[in-house]
Structure 1
Amino acid sequence: MRENHDYFFKIADRPAEFTQIHELNYHTFSEEIPQHPKNLEKKLIDSFHEENTYIICLKQEEVIGMIAIRAQRPFSLDRKIGPVEESLPFTIQKPCEIRLLAVKIDYRQGRVFLGLVQFLIKYCLKNGYDIALISGTVRQLKLYGQMGFQPFAMLTGAIEASYQPMYLTKETFEASIAGRLLRPPTAFLPGPVSISDEVRAAFDKDPYSHRSAFFKDKMDHVKEQLCRLVDCRYTQVLLGTGTLANDLVAAQLSLETGRGVILTNGEFGSRLVEQAQRAGLDFDVLDKEWGLPFSHEEIAACITDETAWIWAVHSETSTGMLNKLNILKAVAQEHQLKLCLDCISSIGAVDLDLSGVFLATGVSGKALKSYTGLSFVFHHHKVAPSPLLPTYLDLGTYAEKESIPFSQSSNLVEALLTAINSVTQERLAKIAAIHQSIRQKLSKYGFQLITAEENSSPIIVTVPLPKTTPSSTVGELLYCNGYLLHYESEYLRQQNWIQIACIEDYSKEQIEKMAYLFHQAYKSWCQAPKIMVQ
């Protein structure tokens, strides 16, 4: 593993970390900068220690850098120059003071300083601080300036240990060398997805009328490509999200006779149940524990003489489960049932064959990697308009008007057409390889995964955390270290799960570092004392 993978930034919360903080404080501000007297213990406990929050950089278990934050007034700087507001040329609302910026000599090449300041910015924004104040040693004014610190007021301290009052805001950091070097967090999210330059360029074309012959040709081409992608005869393109597409499926099923069976083993299966209830459908539910697969026998056991249709989620992204399409098709064929599928997360991520499927849904975002805003309903049979359905939810109306019954977006259609052309067997294989690599890395660190490998969807990996380790805390710590994982959805918070999506073009190094930092964030919380010392 490369050396920079060993750096981990966090809030200090363990006794061993605080001991090292006091030692680093002494070495920096008693021995290197003679601000405080030396002592035999070689430790310096800051006078504001009980009020400080310490951001630290760890290399393995060694504290190699730190910075302290406190918001309680008066600041140490207030005592040196008077109320800081009187020396600033602008109004401030919620300031904090940062002190004790120190890095061990062997690690002053820049990355540790930069990491501390980047963590500081995210921490301050999260806590609502609009400005951070510091007394910067005159020995490092150039370094402070490169990180966005701006001087104000007069120098303080003795001649041999002079300090310059400085401030840092989000704006000064972003305008600094460090801010310009800062890359956005690496996102392992199921959406929004990154958009390629080619798709952006297609979207940025001048819009044109959805009533023009040119737009109709484009729409026809999009539909042909979508049908080719999933081996289906027809598809209708809707201006709306996947929820709209599934509502159209529910509306169509309301026209069918007989009961249905909805399969649910995750959040999105539960949403199908809710949509079916809202549509007034008559159905039974096969409800399994989240993350467990359906067997042929279990599904068949739910079928009665009244059963006319089955509705299921193909790729259940809430758990990372890929429900077996061959099993669903086999049961539907054996019992002469109409099979409906939510393929919102699987289209563009797996090799999808919708032959024999009555209705299926997809979206332009997620694995297709276009802009969110278009959704699709696939079907093999011709559909006529129904006066029993709301116009916007009538699949037959879309079919009759060739997917242009209402306003459409030429920009979204152009972008989608470009994105579809990038879905190749090589890309599907790469998604599968990234998924496999992430599973292996997480398993190496001892994480348990929700779904077994043989039932896993290549789009995402789901990691359950113990109830004593909040997924939001781990996720936020990873974000402050430059990696975005999926943990903020309500259903994930309720389950205390974290997810890692696999649909972007991640490098081996990014996967390794994400897994390492995930493990460090998890381990850090587990090793923290029950009552955190500040």
Structure 2
Amino acid sequence: MDNNHGYFFKIATSCNEFERIHQLNYQTFSEEIPQHEKNELKKLVDPFHHENTYIICIKDDELIGMVAVRDNRPFSLDRKIGAIEESLPIIVNRPCEVRLLAVKKEFRNGRVFVGLAQFLAQYCLEKGYDVAVISGTVRQLKLYNQMGFQPFAQLTGTEEALFQPMYLTKETFEASLAGRILHPAIPFLPGPVQISDGVRAALMGRPYSHRTKGFREKLHRIRDLLCDLTNSQYVQVLLGSGTLANEVVAAQLSLIKGRGLILANGEFGTRIVEQAQRQGLSFDVLEKEWGQAFLKEEIVEKLSNKSTWIWAVHSETSTGMLNDLTLLKRIAEEYGLKLCLDCISSIGAVELDLSGVFLATGVSGKALRAFTGLSFVFHHHQVAPSPALPKYIDLGVYMVTDSIPFSHSSNFIEALLVAVENMTSETYRKISETHQWLRNNLKHSGYHLITSNENNSPMILTIALPKAVSSYEIGRVLHYNGYLLHFESEYLRQRNWMQIACIGDYSTATLEKMTNLLYQVVTYELKQLQASTSKLPNEGAQLGRKVTLIK
């Protein structure tokens, strides 16, 4: 869905929105189409109002269009023509009824109707409906057809207000004008990420055995490229997620005498603590507020004469914090510690030098922009298998078998090879420029960013929204309007945070549209709150007064 024209679409939630829905309902179905009688209040409350979900279009804080969806039977159309299943030319399992499609006269240029249809189609698919039915005014049959609706059954209504029963399915929508011009949502996610056509094509090739010479050569090439990318001597490629790679690190640490120290200043540091506990490791934890940097003196104070290793997250995705790798390497060298790093969100996003690092992990997805499914463990030392470890998480087993101890996926390997071969210094520059552009614009517009400019990872930005508005609901609105931001994780919802990843290939125009829409939606919701409480909360006032940078 394109936000070129300053519109955005959402589900109505506020009392103010419902009041304007009743007014538009009256203007359309009492004054323009004589379906209902006029009244002095100039409001028309639908008899199914409390069952309706209203999809609305907003422009400059004005409600200019709407459509309602409900799934309770009987439908109003059931009452006019009998059970709809008896007249429909298709078999249906979970129908819904669409009603009250209305757009203010001055905005009937097709764009609003198309946008409502696109939102409606996405919403119905999300809810699991397989058909939507509507009574379409005969005055706008061409428009309904452009939205994907098809006629069925006989006309209903009166001579002054005739209606055609119509139905919409996934197939009829996709074949319609509205369906053909619906663009896939643009991901600003840490994963899954934008995938290039070349990487996608490589994944879709014919699979072949992981025991073949060709597979070994491709995997060897990938391992060489990954080592060059990170200044590592060895890397093992695992079939599994980053969690598996970190389990392999924990398993290796279980073989080392002494005590460890885990640094946690975000969700993924906390997850490392849990993994270490499950492996029965002996360790201390230095925990800081999320988004706060570790200081050398704090780390050193936590060490003891039994400390032999230290484990931390390099790029903490949950906050956008980039922990100081140089500092950690210096402390490890000074105190004779084995340094382990979770580099899952930094490999491919920042230039990475893992010299002096005992073990580090990465993944094929995220900034490398291949498909999720492979993970890596980097190291500089020879590793022998250990009978004390489960075979699947024994790094030594991978090393003695050239990273092919078990079944592997040729499709994932082919896709990863294309992605890694595409990595250049230009990749890092583009990510950094995207991050800085977003950071400057978001700060200018009054958003509170979690990490400081000195400690931020170029991979992702974290925004703390005012408590008065829901980060989850804001994220859903942007999702329906064509932009996928990161907001659904429980740790983000608990803090009312949302995130924008910078690892895709975005034009400046795309960044401008996305940030303008975000600003438009947030300020609109704050104004809705103001309309119901007569004033903005203090924490939202600054953002509400800000003027957007991009015009």
* TM-score normalised by L of structure 2: 0.90
* Equivalent position of 2:517 in the other structure: 517
CA shift at 1:353, angstroms?
0.7
Q: Are residue 415 (structure 1) and residue 415 (structure 2) matched?
A: yes
* Equivalent position of 1:448 in the other structure: 448
Q: For 1:360-406, what per-residue CA distance to the aligned partner results, in whole angstroms no more than 9, with x for missing partners? A: 11111111111222111111122222232222222122222222222
| Partners of 2:349 and 2:503 within 8 A in 1 | yes
* Equivalent position of 2:539 in the other structure: none
* Equivalent position of 2:80 in the other structure: 80
Change (3 A) 1:39 1:485: same
Change (3 A) 1:40 1:283: closer
CA shift at 1:85, angstroms?
3.2
Distance 1:188 1:330 in 2: 34
1:190-201 correspondence to structure 2 within 5 Å: 190-201=190-201
* Equivalent position of 1:24 in the other structure: 24
- Give the secondary-structure state (helix, strand or coil) at the position aligned to 1:453: coil
* Equivalent position of 1:231 in the other structure: 231
Q: For 1:189-245, what per-residue CA distance to the aligned partner results, in whole angstroms no more than 9, with x for missing partners? A: 111122212112323333333223332222221111111001111111122211111
Change (3 A) 1:71 1:234: closer
* Equivalent position of 1:54 in the other structure: 54
Distance 1:28 1:528 in 2: 24
* Equivalent position of 1:276 in the other structure: 276
CA shift at 1:170, angstroms?
2.7
- Give the secondary-structure state (helix, strand or coil) at the position aligned to 2:448: coil
Q: For 1:50-85, what per-residue CA distance to the aligned partner results, in whole angstroms no more than 9, with x for missing partners? A: 544332111111122111233444433233323333
- Give the secondary-structure state (helix, strand or coil) at the position aligned to 1:397: helix
Q: For 1:471-502, what per-residue CA distance to the aligned partner results, in whole angstroms no more than 9, with x for missing partners? A: 32222222222222212223223333222111
1:269-418 correspondence to structure 2 within 5 Å: 269-418=269-418
- Give the secondary-structure state (helix, strand or coil) at the position aligned to 1:207: coil
Change (3 A) 1:418 1:92: closer
Change (3 A) 1:165 1:207: closer
Change (3 A) 1:374 1:71: closer
Distance 1:402 1:73 in 2: 62
* Equivalent position of 1:66 in the other structure: 66
1:63-142 correspondence to structure 2 within 5 Å: 63-142=63-142
* Equivalent position of 2:158 in the other structure: 158
* Equivalent position of 2:548 in the other structure: none
Letter in 1 for 2:149: F
Letter in 2 for 1:311: W
| Partners of 2:190 and 2:366 within 8 A in 1 | yes
Change (3 A) 1:271 1:14: closer
Moved more, 83-92 or 420-429: 83-92
CA shift at 1:520, angstroms?
3.5
| Partners of 1:370 and 1:416 within 8 A in 2 | yes
| Partners of 2:194 and 2:505 within 8 A in 1 | no
Distance 2:243 2:45 in 1: 57
Q: Are residue 179 (structure 1) and residue 183 (structure 2) matched?
A: no
Moved more, 478-487 or 360-369: 478-487
| Partners of 2:78 and 2:84 within 8 A in 1 | yes
* Equivalent position of 1:485 in the other structure: 485
* Unmatched segments (≥5 aa) in structure 1: none
Q: Are residue 473 (structure 1) and residue 470 (structure 2) matched?
A: no
Letter in 2 for 1:7: Y
| Partners of 1:257 and 1:308 within 8 A in 2 | yes
* Equivalent position of 2:426 in the other structure: 426
- Give the secondary-structure state (helix, strand or coil) at the position aligned to 1:454: coil
| Partners of 1:441 and 1:512 within 8 A in 2 | no
| Partners of 2:16 and 2:528 within 8 A in 1 | no
* Equivalent position of 1:460 in the other structure: 460
Distance 1:383 1:53 in 2: 59
CA shift at 1:113, angstroms?
0.6
Q: For 1:90-141, what per-residue CA distance to the aligned partner results, in whole angstroms no more than 9, with x for missing partners? A: 4444433222212223322222111111222233334444332211111211
Q: For 1:14-59, what per-residue CA distance to the aligned partner results, in whole angstroms no more than 9, with x for missing partners? A: 4543444344334433444344455666554445445443321111
Q: For 1:321-348, what per-residue CA distance to the aligned partner results, in whole angstroms no more than 9, with x for missing partners? A: 1101111111111112111111011000
Moved more, 135-144 or 486-495: 486-495
- Give the secondary-structure state (helix, strand or coil) at the position aligned to 1:455: coil
* Unmatched segments (≥5 aa) in structure 2: 533-551
Distance 2:219 2:12 in 1: 56
- Give the secondary-structure state (helix, strand or coil) at the position aligned to 1:123: helix
Moved more, 265-274 or 4-13: 4-13
CA shift at 1:528, angstroms?
4.4
How many residues get paired? 531
Moved more, 32-41 or 340-349: 32-41
Distance 1:98 1:214 in 2: 55
- Give the secondary-structure state (helix, strand or coil) at the position aligned to 1:4: coil
- Give the secondary-structure state (helix, strand or coil) at the position aligned to 1:339: strand
CA shift at 1:284, angstroms?
0.7
Distance 2:455 2:101 in 1: 49
Letter in 2 for 1:347: I
Moved more, 128-137 or 431-440: 128-137
Change (3 A) 1:390 1:37: closer
Distance 1:294 1:277 in 2: 22
Moved more, 10-19 or 446-455: 10-19
| Partners of 2:68 and 2:98 within 8 A in 1 | yes
Change (3 A) 1:95 1:226: same
Letter in 2 for 1:162: L
Letter in 1 for 2:322: L
CA shift at 1:466, angstroms?
4.4
Change (3 A) 1:129 1:414: closer
Letter in 2 for 1:211: R
Percent identity between the aligned chains? Answer: 64
* Equivalent position of 2:505 in the other structure: 505
* Equivalent position of 2:167 in the other structure: 167
Distance 2:410 2:12 in 1: 52
- Give the secondary-structure state (helix, strand or coil) at the position aligned to 2:458: coil
Change (3 A) 1:247 1:162: same
| Partners of 2:150 and 2:166 within 8 A in 1 | yes
CA shift at 1:149, angstroms?
0.7
- Give the secondary-structure state (helix, strand or coil) at the position aligned to 2:347: coil
| Partners of 1:13 and 1:528 within 8 A in 2 | no
- Give the secondary-structure state (helix, strand or coil) at the position aligned to 1:518: helix
Change (3 A) 1:160 1:468: same
Moved more, 508-517 or 520-529: 520-529
